[in-house]
Amino acid sequence: MCLKGKVAIVTGSTSGIGLGIAHALAGQGADVLVNGFGDAAAIDGLCQDIAARHGVKVAYSGADMAQPAQIEGMVAQATRELGRVDILVNNAGIQFTAPVHEFPVERWDAIIAINLSAAFHAIRAALPQMRERNWGRIVNIASAHGLVASVNKVAYVAAKHGIVGITKVVALETATSGVTCNAICPGWVLTPLVQKQIDALAERERLTPEEARMRLLGEKQPSKEFATPEQIGALAQFLCSEGAAQIRGASLSVDGGWTAQ
């Protein structure tokens, strides 16, 4: 229980990668503030499950990651209800695909706000108390698209490249302190959002679910296997440990060889 007594905020953690990370940190004893949208009863059950399974305190914030004031309020809530903020995982994200010349301006603005600017606002709000205690862990969930590009994903690629840049700056500014900042760059991870893409591809191309799965993976991921939220959570957990104290400003790929090509 190496994180016993620590408090973590995980944005976008009501499903998928964020939920995997919340479980991983709680499994090491950290109290957790869960954030995201969804059915109120389902979220309440999810929070109760994390608390009961791991024996930790769990709070919930429905803060909209496109709203800076709500992000600041989320950090204040975690501090008020759980006592402090030691770990910040910036995971919330959305996606939209279209060629640059057809990309809707409002979708660009939304993706930049949630996938990039939200991380800045959360770090800005949480970092002062980490500095004051001389201990903190900031883990930004970037993407393989923080390192390489794909067509029709201009906003997502721009935002995730920006996340890698923010990670480096914060790491340098905290380099002589007990605060670290790193990024995880997942490739394809089997989440409900990705499953929807598989289902849509199968329907569009009249493929079986397995054919659609392999088509999606085969385009990018040499391992031809999805990463899992649990694997991303395990890496986040390690980055919060003392063993990772000198990993600073790194962008760590979990992508089945995608960016090795």
Of these residues, 156, 188, 226, 258, which one is catalytic?
156
Decide if 215 contacts 207 (C-beta within 8 A). yes
User: CA–CA separation, 126 vs 63, rounded Å?
Assistant: 15
Evaluate whether 243 touches 209 at the Cβ level (below 8 Å). no
Between CA 198 and CA 208 the distance in angstroms is: 10
In SS3 terms, 45-111 reads as: HHHHHHHHHHCCCEEEECCCCCCHHHHHHHHHHHHHHHCCCCEEEECCCCCCCECHHHCCHHHHHHH
Active site residue 156: yes
- Side by side, the strands of the sheet bearing 251-254 are 58-61, 31-35, 7-10, 87-90, 136-141, 179-186, 251-254
Q: Which of 37, 38, 60 is nearest to 48 (CA)?
A: 60
Name residues whose C-beta falls within 8 Å of residue 90's C-beta, 6 or more positions apart in sequence.
Answer: 11, 118, 119, 122, 123, 138, 139, 140, 141, 163
Positions marked catalytic? 156
